[in-house]
């Protein structure tokens, strides 16, 4: 509910001009659109403040093609903004803290540039002198709760993102904020189908988007697989009735899967997107190719990339890194941590959980996939089985519909 109070506060021009640059995201995409419309209100206008009704008029003018169902949803949201009554002092304090944190981050980056000779010391002095009098940079210390009931409620009883596969719910349990995992396999084993299968099941469990950064296969090809996994249908079946297939896809996923397809994905680009969209889950396929890291040794370079992946999980949401298995994994059923490509321990030590997908070349085994949980530090759920924490499971890959099924 605080998002509505925040949006209402930004209808004051002075507040908007002072703090809007430090507001990065809201709880859902609809509120984010309303935030952008507040900015449109002030373009070329001189009024000091606006009403919620004026905001709504500006919004509907910017989005004239909304469906009736979408208009109904936004009408409810505007009513909640109008009714919001949070203490203005608390809203101001929150906005001020956002500005302080961003200012501190910028000063830290500038200080690093000065220390490495990329900027002059005078620029750092200017930034420090530019701080508002009395604003300062407040140090905030947050301690982990020692309340056992709260620990149980947040990390066991309250589910996170559940898997479509029953076997993974028994072994890993839900994915929650702080959880960083690795999925790896040999090429043409079904990594993309596996991710599509699980993400399309998770998409309906959240109102926030799920981000899939793809730097491997062609993006539209991957999106067709996402449709197949969501609907449990072949491409031929999906394309035979486009209208119905689209409606069913939206119903099953809430259109929450956002696929970003770029041959080169940089660390800075990914961070900007994640910060802006506030996702429920992030997947990197393939994690090893993320640019923006440097090191003299490949293992140290990969270690830096996966350390960054862990930091994303702690800061934003659960994160999954997809990578390759090395040549020793060819034809192996149960892949373990030693089969991860280009890494002895650099990747593995950062992960909370590691899932290897193996297959054999035996006759009649073409569609059988072997899932091995070689590392598992997750809390699990109430229905998880302690004896299956490092479980091994045979599954069937139905490649034509991009679905895995427990045997």
pLDDT tens, position by position, 314-365 = 999 999 999 999 999 999 999 999 999 987 788 999 999 999 999 998 888 9
Residues 181 and 281 in one domain: yes
Distances (CA, A) of 140 to 94, 103, 112: 13, 14, 22
Q: Using DSSP, state whether 286 is helix, strand or coil.
A: coil
Structure tokens at 55: 């905001």
333 with 264, same domain: the answer is: yes
Q: From CA 134, how far away is CA 5, in angstroms rounded? A: 25
Cα-Cα-Cα-Cα torsion 161, 167, 172, 177, nearest 10 degrees, comes to -10
- Both 120 and 238 in one domain: the answer is no
- Give the model confidence (pLDDT) of 390-402 as tens digits: 999 999 999 999 9
Nearest C-alpha neighbor of 36 from the set 49, 25, 51: 25
Q: In this model, does residue 75 exceed pLDDT 60?
A: yes
Structure tokens at 173: 């349990």
Q: Are residues 35 and 114 in the same domain?
A: no
Q: How many domains does the chain have?
A: 3
Does 153 have pLDDT greater than 80? no
In this predicted structure, what is the pLDDT of residue 140?
56
pLDDT of the residue at 136: 46
Taking residue 112's Cβ as centre, other Cβ atoms within 10 Å add up to: 11
Check residue 125 and give its pLDDT: 65
81 & 94 share domain: no
Q: What is the pLDDT of residues 204-262, one digit of tens each?
A: 999 999 999 999 889 999 999 999 999 999 999 999 999 999 999 999 999 999 999 99
User: Which pair of tokens denotes residue 125?
Assistant: 């002095």
Domain holding 256, by residue range, is 156-406
Average pLDDT, the chain: 87
In a domain, 141, yes or no: no
Residue 183, strand partner residues: 322, 355
Answer with the one of 54, 86, 118 that is the final residue of a domain.
86
* Domain assignment of residue 143, yes or no: no
Q: Is the pLDDT of residue 294 over 70?
A: yes
Question: Would you say residue 149 lies in a domain?
Answer: no
Nearest to 135 by CA among 109, 98, 87, 110: 98
Sheet of 403-406: strands edge to edge?
257-261, 210-214, 281-285, 319-324, 180-185, 353-358, 368-376, 392-398, 403-406
């Amino acid at each position: 509910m605080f998002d509505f109070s925040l949006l209402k506060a930004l209808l004051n021009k002075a507040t908007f001009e002072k703090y809007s640059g430090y507001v990065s995201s809201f709880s859902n995409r609809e509120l984010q659109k309303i935030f952008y419309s507040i900015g449109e209100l002030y373009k070329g206008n001189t009024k000091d403040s606006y009403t919620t009704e004026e905001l709504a008029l500006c919004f509907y003018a910017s989005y004239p093609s909304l469906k009736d169902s979408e208009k109904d949803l936004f009408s409810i949201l505007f009513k909640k903004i109008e009714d919001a009554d949070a203490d203005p002092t608390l809203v101001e304090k929150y906005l001020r803290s956002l500005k302080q944190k961003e200012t501190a981050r910028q000063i830290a980056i500038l200080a690093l540039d000065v220390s490495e000779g990329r900027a002059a010391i005078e620029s750092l002095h200017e930034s420090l002198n530019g701080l508002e009098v009395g604003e300062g940079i407040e140090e905030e210390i947050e301690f982990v709760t020692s309340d056992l009931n709260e620990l149980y409620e947040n990390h066991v009883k309250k589910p996170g993102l559940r898997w479509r596969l029953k076997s993974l719910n028994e072994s890993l349990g839900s994915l929650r904020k702080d959880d960083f995992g690795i999925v790896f396999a040999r090429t043409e084993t079904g990594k993309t189908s596996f991710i599509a299968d699980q993400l399309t099941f998770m998409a309906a469990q959240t109102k926030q988007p799920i981000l899939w950064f793809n730097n491997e296969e062609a993006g539209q090809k991957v999106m067709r697989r996402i449709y197949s996994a969501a609907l449990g249908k072949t491409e031929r079946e999906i394309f035979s009735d486009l209208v119905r297939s689209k409606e069913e896809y939206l119903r099953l996923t809430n259109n929450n899967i956002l696929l970003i397809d770029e041959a080169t994905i940089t660390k800075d680009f990914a961070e900007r997107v994640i910060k802006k969209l506030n996702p429920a889950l992030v997947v990197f396929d393939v994690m090893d190719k993320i640019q923006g890291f440097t090191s003299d040794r490949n293992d140290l370079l990969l270690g830096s990339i996966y350390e960054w992946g862990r930091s994303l999980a702690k800061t934003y949401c659960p994160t999954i890194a997809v990578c390759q298995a090395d040549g020793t994994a060819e034809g192996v059923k149960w892949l373990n941590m030693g089969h991860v490509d280009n890494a002895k321990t650099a990747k593995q030590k950062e992960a909370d959980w590691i899932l290897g997908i193996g297959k054999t070349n035996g006759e009649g085994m073409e569609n059988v996939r072997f899932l091995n949980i070689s590392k598992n530090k997750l809390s699990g759920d109430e229905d998880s089985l302690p004896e299956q924490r490092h479980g091994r499971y045979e599954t069937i890959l139905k490649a034509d519909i991009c679905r895995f099924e427990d045997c």
